[in-house]
């Protein structure tokens, strides 16, 4: 709209530079957790027990295991010999993954549902929110040079959570 005399303050877009300059383990971690977050949302919001659910669930589980495993090679928060409390979540994710698969195989769908929902919300949503804290790589990726990504990320996370809550309140369980 500059031709009409209106000049918009153009902010630089978010940048992938901090991620591209990050250690390889961080790059693998982000490359697996990002599709796991999107795929997990899709799986939670769609019918359970179908062949598609089982196939996508196996893919999601593989992504979560690689994500958790890669975290053991990330040592930016060095509280105890290179490790931090987030690594406890990685251990819980690996054990949870094993138990979720075992529960599904023996037909204990209720336990499977509980474990998977916990993995999604603790391992992706909660842990993901912490990656956007100032000083973290994903904070620099999303918020360097621009204010709008902060609102976008908050709105996206909020929309996902609202959709899940609304669906569960409507009587459609998130995980059937």
Higher pLDDT among residues 74 and 109, named by residue? 109
* pLDDT-derived band at 40, boundaries 50, 70, 90: very high
Percent of the chain at pLDDT > 90 equals 36
pLDDT at 175 over 80: no
Q: Is the pLDDT of residue 169 over 70?
A: no
Is residue 175 within 8 A of residue 44, CB to CB? The reply is yes
- Tokens standing for residue 102: 């075992």
pLDDT tens, residue by residue, 46-87: 888 999 999 999 999 999 999 999 988 887 666 666 667 778
Long-range Cβ pairs for the range 12-18 (8 Å, 24+): 12/144, 12/145, 12/146, 13/145, 13/146, 14/141, 14/142, 14/143, 14/144, 14/145, 14/146, 14/149, 15/140, 15/141, 15/144, 15/145, 16/141, 17/141, 17/144, 18/137, 18/140, 18/141, 18/144
Q: Whole-angstrom Cα distance, residue 173 to residue 169?
A: 8
> Token pair for residue 156?
């996206």
């Amino acid at each position: 709209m500059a031709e009409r005399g209106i000049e918009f303050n153009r902010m630089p877009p978010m940048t992938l530079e901090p991620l591209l300059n990050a250690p390889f383990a961080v790059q693998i971690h982000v490359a697996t957790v990002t599709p796991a977050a999107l795929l997990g949302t899709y799986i939670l919001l769609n019918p359970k027990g179908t062949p598609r659910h089982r196939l996508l669930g196996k893919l999601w589980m593989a992504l979560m295991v690689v994500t958790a495993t890669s975290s053991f090679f990330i040592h930016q928060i060095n509280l105890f010999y290179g490790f931090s409390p987030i690594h406890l979540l990685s251990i819980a994710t690996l054990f949870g993954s094993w138990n979720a698969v075992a529960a599904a195989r023996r037909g204990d769908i209720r336990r499977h549902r509980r474990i998977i929902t916990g993995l999604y919300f603790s391992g992706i949503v909660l842990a993901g929110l912490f990656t956007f804290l100032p000083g973290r790589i994903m904070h620099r990726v999303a918020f360097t040079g621009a204010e709008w990504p902060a609102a976008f990320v908050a709105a996206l996370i909020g929309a996902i959570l609202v959709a899940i809550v609304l669906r569960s309140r409507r009587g459609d369980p998130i995980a059937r």
